[in-house]
Structure 1
Amino acid sequence: MEEIIERTRNIDFHHPFTPYDVQQQFMHTVYNVLEQGNGSIGILESPTGTGKSLSLICAALTWLRNYKKKTYEVSIDTAASSFKDEPDWVVEQLLKRKRAEIVDLWEERESNLRSIRAREAMMEEREKKRRRYGEANPNNPVKDPDIDEEEWLLDEQDDEDLPRFSNIGKEESSDDNDGDQVKVGIMALCNCIIMTNWKQIYYTSRTHSQLTQFISELRRPTFPPSVPDKFLKSHEDHEIEAVKHVPLSSRQRLCINPSVARLGSLSAINDRCSELQQSKSKDKCQFIPNANNLGQTHQFRDNVLATLPDIEDLHSLGKTFQVCPYYASRTAIPGAEVITLPYPLLLQTSARDALGIKLDGNVVIIDEAHNVMDAIANVYASEISLKDLVRARQLLEVYVKRFGKKLKGENRVMVGQVARVVDGLRTWMENALDIKADQGIIDPNVLLKHKGIDQINLFKLIDYVQGSKLAYKIEGYAAHIETEGGTKPTTPFSSTPVLHTLLSFLVSLSNLSSEGRIFYHKTNGKEHREIKLSYLLLSPAHAFSSIALKARAVILAGGTMSPFEDYTAHLFPNVASEKITTLSCGHVIPASNLCVWTLSSCQPKSNANRMEFEFSYQRRGDKTMIRELGLAILNICTAVPDGVVIFFPSYGYLEEVVRVWNETDGTQSASIWNKLQNKKAVFSEVKGSSSDDLLEQYSKAIMDEDTPATSTKPPSKACGALILSVVGGKMSEGINFSDRLGRCVVIVGLPYPNINSPDWKARIEYIESTTLKQLTECDAPRPRNEAVAAAKQAARDFYENACMRAVNQSIGRAIRHRNDYAAIVLIDRRFGTDRIKRKLPGWIQGGLVTGSENGGLGQMMSNLSGFFRSKQ
């Protein structure tokens, strides 16, 4: 680490505040990875509350501006070498002119953007005055176009008109159905951008709210010009250059055409939008960028580059200039320095192609990257139920009854093939209801043998359904006639239409490889049993390789990335180790603000009758151990003020523990549950319930002097609140238990996934087989017995790492800023083993009380009491 800092010691990262040491360390590491380039990978962990997003921005944009300056200087040096036979004074004059041209272009662009920003500020001020004096804006709603049955009729197609097949895994990927006219218009507009073709930063996170938070952080720092200082006539006049940023999103969030946006579901919006661009469409969308609205599109583009907008701003700009923000935003991409977008739009090749995203030589930053492997699997996952197939068959029958006689040639054949596929899958699923096992893996060849599905060219069928908008037309017609008939549509557009669901599943079925499996799952419904088929991607490496191989550098950043081994082994298996940089930052809090204790037993190690806590699947039902756990929690609630958050391995086990704590016998005056309620207001997370209401009640119990009516505590005795939650539940990620809300976080047991489930069996088998193949078929193969042992260990590590990532996420709910403080109690003897300790985040390892696993409840209480007394 010292070597990295030494290489970048003199760099000013333009942080808007005085950065902490851990922030300096983080920024130096990011800068070094980007500077190294050539496919470099950075896997960086910086705890929540350490200013990770701002550090990413400062490091990445400082590197980008420095890179631009170097590129300008190289262009001048190159020009100078081409004039080597000219006299020095001639060369100097030519170079002076070239520098002036660069600065003039740069100044012209910056001046235009400053003017736009000034105009935007003036309009905002004017709007504030309007609101202040109660003036309302005019409202001119656009009426939906009249519905015509011809909208739902399939166009006649010849074979040469059929679209080419493209992989469309999830909903977002169907955004690639853009009209050629739109692409040509956008390319023409992009050519108007001056000073482009720079390196760019693509930043992605899991949710739109996280992207919005990042954009607000992006507005904090200022950076110097990208033109070298020596090129500028007066540096004082050009101290800063505004960041150029473009947010990208799906049509669902950006569409401003009321008749399309009202459809609700992304798949329906995509299909209808694409249909309104076809040459045969009689009712083309008036907002699509074209020659008629070129001026508005230019204005939209320039406003985007001038104002650092978020998605809501982009939508508003589209309405203001009456131009589609989904398409018009692409015209701003070439001039952008930072492009933000949600996971699905970056992680899928077809979605990137649809948006015109070019990763070659650019920087990719993935934030909240602890779940990137799951995100990749989700993007490529698909699922369909028997209920979906029954509904799909009904829709087909309704459609064919109305339009069957008008369907000709290819349309008739393809609609018939869709019906056969539906009937074949339905037959298999109905027969599978008699299988004894409730879940398992399916051989796709067996799945396809019913109704002759294996004789159908699925690639051609998928291509047809996508290109003809069959799913949209059938779903849309059904919704139309149900609405016309005065009945509520049984499958509204607000949910994913079943034929689009079928299409996604067929794509998965046709793209099966060694990296994916098809599973069936049976459930007991209210009236009858249900069964569904799902596709699971077992390895993210191949899907992610298209990003890793093209990008100049990839940064994976998160608050809890530990353990790191999974990313190097399963996301970048073919990347040389010297290209991968890992960093686990400490916290910005002083060491005295954290107390981490491993409670292996209520009794110290010296006690011969010591019963150890081990909440493994085999032992967790021991009622004596559950009561001992209750005793430990009761004591923690006595020592810890305000809020205590406890995470259990599963909802089922949480319910079992609460049942035991409610039991009493003749020796007890009150149950453990009642005793807990006398200490604190007790709240419990329920599977499927709203986390917002629960969190509000919990917070109110802590922050208010009086107990709320919804609390379960006796007001005169209890102090603070206790919330019982689940690792992997709604409280374990994205919830902020800062300050008084989370003075202590308790982890009960290790939440290992169910290793006997079909999907985990498939994952373990896949890792073992691929690892064994790598070890026995490499240039220096291992002996068979050693390779087998290593492969099994690799699978065990992956399984355990999945557990520890979930634990680390839950731990990260506490301590959210520099002045925060909290205790963390890990209840299970296995937390005291070196193997598990190594997989905790570095800052947690640093806070572990040495030897705590050998102490008992008494020693823990002494430490906790002393810790919180020191904070009074």
Structure 2
Amino acid sequence: MSTTGDYERFFPYEEPYPNQRSAMGEIAEALDEQRDVLLEGAPGTGKTLSALCPAVEYARRTDKTVVITTNVHQQMRQFVSDARAIVHNDVDSIRAVVFKGKSSMCHIDVDYQECQTLRDTTRSLVDKERERTQLREQATALLDEIREGDDGAASARTAVTDELESVTSEIEDLSAGNICEYYHNNLTETDSTDAFFEWLFDDVRTAEEVYEYADERQLCGYELLKEGIEGVDLVICNYHHLLDPAIREQFFRWLGRDPDDIVAVFDEAHNIESAARDHAGRTLTENTLEEALTEINDCEDSRAEPATNVFEAFLTALRRTSDDSFGFGEREQVTSEWYDLTITNTDRRDDLTLEFLKQYEGRGINTEIDLARQLAESIDSQHETAYKNGETATRKECQSLQAASFLDAWMTDNDTVDTHPIISVRRDEGTNEVYARAELYRCIPRSVTADLFDEVHSSVLMSATLRPFDVAEDVLGLSDPVQMAYDLAYPEDNRRTLAIKTPALFSSARNDSDTQRIIADTLADAARFTPGNALFFFPSYAEAERYATQLRQHDAVFKPVMLDESGTETEPLRQSFVDHSGSVLCTSLWGTLAEGVSFDDDDARTVAVVGVPYPHLSERAEAVQNAYDRAYSGQKNAGWQYGIEIPTIRKTRQALGRVIRSPSDYGVRLLIDKRYTQESAEMGKYGVRGQFPPEERAELIDVDPSKVQFALLNFYDDLDAYDGAVPSPSP
């Protein structure tokens, strides 16, 4: 039998990075002990292979499947690259697949429910076609027996031909309905599907490659993947395949694995918290309620009246509560983006629930919601039948089922500790009308993630910014995980981390002209004394635009200044930035460039985080804080720390990690705000220096704004980094 140390045979390169061998060994031991792992490793230190090699070895040895997942596109590409390196290493026959959702792989662009119906109808058709073939063969054989004088063959053949006629009629009916030709080919063209699986497992194929291959051959690549992933060694996928309970159950079934047969590896695991909230939330709009009422109006069913009672009462309550929640002039400012309205109360149920109870007139809300659900399930079944029979061109979505399911959850969950009721509004761009939606917002993700980590055999959660581990453990619902932290083991002489003593950029101080001048001058010095590209992160896109404008007008800046704006495609801008030998890029720390994107070597030499980029303190952020305060009532400032401060410092550390990606790389990292300096100890909970891990705090050097130019000059000049003339400091 293999031993724990055999994982090194899967390592595809000559020599591990610093700390990589140690991490692989500790993870291998943890998997043998069926324990979860929290792994923090500095960016660029090979965390993926540190987890992947021992996980794949363990899975092969114990007949399990490794599922490695991320919510960052670039990391997905890195997973594919690492998996290919392992597969091409020729040490073992590894079967690996990349799995994406149906929406990105469907050749005829139908939704999940419609696809499911098409699949069932198409399979029924193929089954009947096969039955017809068998009956024809039987009829031919019986005809031969009749010719040979078998007296009983004639009556038997009559029975077969009668059945054949019936099956042929069924085939005609099914063919007249809705089917998927791509899936039909999956079921009937055996040679093509065999060739697909041979091609699939000859390498690690991306979802885009699978789509292209299948499309050229008129096959459904998504369904082929579902059929082909059973028992594979490694699956690369998105977060939602594990975080959404319903999808997870199906996904494991396709894998042919029980949850205990899964080793789950989460990359960028600091994002699990927010991703889990997104998957746990539920919403219901005015439009859906209106469509639900239309759907049940024509039903000759005794359950239609109770369904109407609850749907109309909730719709009226939703409209009245949203109208009453607007402040003076607030409604006119609503755009096409969802805008939250406050409906909660400290001493009673939320306003929407109270209005719902006021508007409702019936025999009992819970009873009538249950009857509404029963009716909706019946309607949904009718939609399914109509689509299968070709009576409708598309598979209708049952709006009353959505409404009934939501109302059931609303009345059950909206006053629990980890759930926050919200009304949001938006303006319809077509009609210019403002409409509302009700939402159950999940505040504490462990209600979603604890079951996952309890079900699977073991999990590895890795990130460059997971600490403090005890918070990650509490928030996600992990039980006694192995904790591993590896700092940046590259040469210290190749990096400097400076905390700049500028004024604290509280939101109230951002418009101060003197503060803006100090920040702009500091950034100008950083840009001028950087031999190459400089990457600047700000608390928001608005602040990024403010300082991009000031830098373009600054006398000391001679480099092109690029701006990343909200709502624009980032990748072309990133590519243009790295293609320049000397430029500045201003972006938001809450944008897509702050994590999961590498700026290796000359791509960026200096990175700066301006201010402490706390998220906008919206009602949702406050709800998260309040939920953590209630859940950890014995811990001072738990809501602030868990909900605001720790996620913000993780984002800051992620941004700093965009540079220094290899042992030979070098650069400067700037934290521009006195809350990062030693003076922050006097600022109470707003001083954040103490939230950095000890080894990172030890590297922080406090610098006055006027001295930044000298700090960068000395660092880069010592490394002989300037190509040509060395810039001269300003007096």
Q: Same fold (TM over 0.5)?
A: yes
SS at match of 1:50: coil
- Once the two structures are TM-superposed, the CA of residue 447 in structure 1 deviates from its matched residue by 5.5
What's the CA shift for 1:349? 2.0
SS of residue paired to 2:496: strand
Of 500, 511, 514, the residue aligned with 2:417 is 514
For 2:195 and 2:399, how far apart are their aligned partners in 1? 40
What is the distance in 2 between the residues matched to 1:637 and 1:616? 24
Which residue type is aligned with residue 448 of structure 1?
Answer: F
Instruction: Report if aligned partners of 2:99, 2:207 keep a CA contact under 8 Å in 1.
Output: yes
Structure-1 residue corresponding to 2:225 = 329
Return the offset for 1:597: 0.5
Q: Is the 8 A contact 1:367 1:557 kept in 2?
A: yes
Aligned to 2:590: 728
Q: Is the 8 A contact 1:429 1:531 kept in 2?
A: no
Q: Deviations over 1:778-832 (max 9, x none)?
A: xxxxxxxxx3xx2434643442102112212222222333332211010111112
Distance 2:189 2:355 in 1: 51
Of residues 613, 627, 645 in structure 1, which corresponds to 2:535? 645
- Closer, same or farther: CA 746–472 of 1 in aligned 2, 3 Å: farther
CA contact (8 A) 2:119 2:179 kept: no
Question: Partners in 1 of 2:122 and 2:412 — Cα distance?
Answer: 30
Local SS of the residue matching 1:29: helix
Structure 1 letter corresponding to 2:676: F
* Cα deviation 1:827-854 (Å, max 9, x = unaligned): 11111247734533677446x25xx32x
- SS class of match (1:824): strand
Which residue identity lines up with residue 641 of structure 1 in the other structure?
Answer: P
Between the aligned residues of both structures, percent identity stands at 18
Distance (Å, rounded) in 2 between the aligned partners of 1:823 and 1:741? 13
Q: Deviations over 1:56-102 (max 9, x none)?
A: 2222223334x34xxxxxxxxxxxxxxxxxxxxxxxxxxxxxxxxxx
Deviation at 1:750, TM superposition (A): 0.8
| Partner residue of 2:267 out of 367, 372, 395 | 367
- C-alpha distance in 1, partners of 2:650/2:386? 41
Change (3 A) 1:654 1:307: closer
Aligned partners of 2:408 and 2:123: how far apart in 1? 25
- In the alignment, what sits opposite 2:481? 580
Q: Describe the superposition over 1:409-432 as per-residue Cα deviations: whole angstroms up to 9, x where unpaired.
A: 379669857963774455345533
- 1:693-718 Cα distance to aligned partner (Å, 9 max, x none): 43344345x24xxxxxxxxxxxxxxx
For residues 778-793 of structure 1, the aligned pairs below 5 Å read 787=634, 790-793=635-638
Decide which of 495, 499, 509 is 1:619's aligned counterpart.
509
Structure 1, unaligned runs of 5 or more = 1-6, 69-197, 225-238, 485-491, 602-612, 662-671, 704-719, 773-786
The partner residue of 2:342 within 440, 464, 467 is 440
- Tell whether 2:167 aligns with 1:262: no
Asked if 1:830 is matched to 2:675, the reply is: yes
Write out aligned runs for 1:456-467 (5 A).
457-458=368-369, 461-462=372-373, 465=376
Residue aligning to 1:201: 66
Residue aligning to 2:644: 799
Q: Deviations over 1:104-146 (max 9, x none)?
A: xxxxxxxxxxxxxxxxxxxxxxxxxxxxxxxxxxxxxxxxxxx
What's the counterpart of residue 34 of structure 1? Answer: 31
Q: What's the TM-score, normalizing by structure 2? A: 0.74
Is 1:768 the equivalent of 2:664?
Answer: no
Aligned-pair distance for 1:470? Answer: 7.8
Q: Are 1:352 and 2:248 counterparts?
A: yes
Give the corresponding residue for 2:562: 683
**Match for residue 491 of structure 2?**
590
Find 1:377's aligned residue among 271, 277, 298: 277
Aligned-pair distance for 1:464? 5.5
In the superposition, relative to structure 1, how do residues 549 and 447 fare at CA in structure 2: closer, same or farther (>3 Å)? farther
Give the letter for the 2:625 counterpart: I
Which of residues 593, 610, 620 in structure 2 aligns to 1:748? 610
Corresponding residue for residue 290 of structure 2 = 393
Contact kept? 1:272, 1:472, Cα under 8 Å: no
Post-superposition offset of 1:555: 0.5
Q: Is the 8 A contact 2:548 2:563 kept in 1?
A: no
Structure 1's 207 and 621: CA in aligned 2 closer, same or farther, altered over 3 A? closer
**Equivalent position SS for 1:345:** helix
Residue of structure 1 equivalent to 2:165: none
Query: Does residue 1:242 correspond to 2:93, yes or no?
Result: yes
Distance 2:75 2:302 in 1: 46
Alignment correspondent of 1:814 = 659
Residue-pair matches, total: 630
Q: Which residue of 2 aligns with 1:632?
A: 522
The yes-or-no answer on 1:15 pairing with 2:15 is no
**Partner of residue 24, structure 1:** 21
Amino acid at match of 1:765: N
Number of the residue aligned with 1:251: 102
SS at match of 1:625: helix
Contact 1:305-1:335 at 8 Å conserved across structures: no
Q: Does 1:543 align with 2:448?
A: yes
Partner of 1:865: 713
C-alpha contact 2:624 2:639 (8 A) present in aligned 1? no
Tell me how large the CA RMSD over aligned residues is. 4.2
- Taking a change above 3 Å as real, the CA distance of residues 530 and 291 of structure 1, as seen in their structure-2 partners, is closer
Q: Is the 8 A contact 2:379 2:398 kept in 1?
A: no
How far is the alpha carbon of 1:599 from its aligned partner?
A: 0.7
Give the Cα–Cα distance (whole angstroms) in 2 for the partners of residues 842 and 222 of structure 1.
Answer: 39
Decide whether the 8 Å contact of 1:458 with 1:510 is kept in 2: no
SS in structure 1 at match of 2:493: helix
Residues 328 and 463 of structure 1: is their aligned pair in 2 closer, same or farther, counting only changes over 3 Å?
farther
From the superposition, tell whether residues 278 and 223 of structure 1 become closer, same or farther in structure 2 (CA, over 3 Å): closer
- Contact kept? 2:72, 2:596, Cα under 8 Å: no
Counterpart CA distance in 2 for 1:423 and 1:35 is 54
Following superposition, the deviation at residue 568 of structure 1 comes to 1.2
1:78-477 counterparts in 2 under 5 A?
Answer: 198-207=63-72, 210-221=75-86, 240-256=91-107, 261-263=108-110, 265-266=111-112, 268-270=114-116, 273=119, 282-285=177-180, 287=183, 304-305=200-201, 307-315=203-211, 324-355=220-251, 356=253, 358-386=258-286, 388-389=287-288, 393=290, 397=294, 407-409=299-301, 420=312, 423-424=315-316, 426-428=318-320, 431-432=323-324, 434=326, 439-442=341-344, 443=350, 445-446=353-354, 448-449=356-357, 450=359, 452=361, 454=365, 457-458=368-369, 461-462=372-373, 465=376, 468-469=379-380
Matched position secondary structure for 1:595: strand
The one-letter code matched in structure 2 to 1:770 is A
Shift of 1:623: 2.1
Normalised TM-score (structure 1): 0.63
- Residues 380/656 of structure 1: CA separation in 2 closer, same or farther (3 Å cut): same
- Kindly provide the CA deviation profile for residues 635-675 of structure 1, in whole angstroms up to 9, marking residues without a partner as x: 2122112211111112344455568x4xxxxxxxxxx6522
CA distance in 1, matches of 2:485, 2:221: 39
Q: 1:813 to 1:681 in 2, by over 3 A?
A: same
Residues 275, 469 of structure 1: 8 Å contact kept: no
Structure 2 distance, partners of 1:642, 1:469, is 61
**1:481-492 mapped onto 2 (5 Å cutoff):** none
SS at match of 2:612: coil
Partner-residue secondary structure (3-state), 2:91: coil
- Label 1:220 to 1:468 Cα distance change in 2 as closer, same or farther (>3 A): farther
Distance 1:275 1:368, change over 3 A: farther
Q: CA–CA distance in 2 between the matches of 1:426 and 1:466?
A: 24
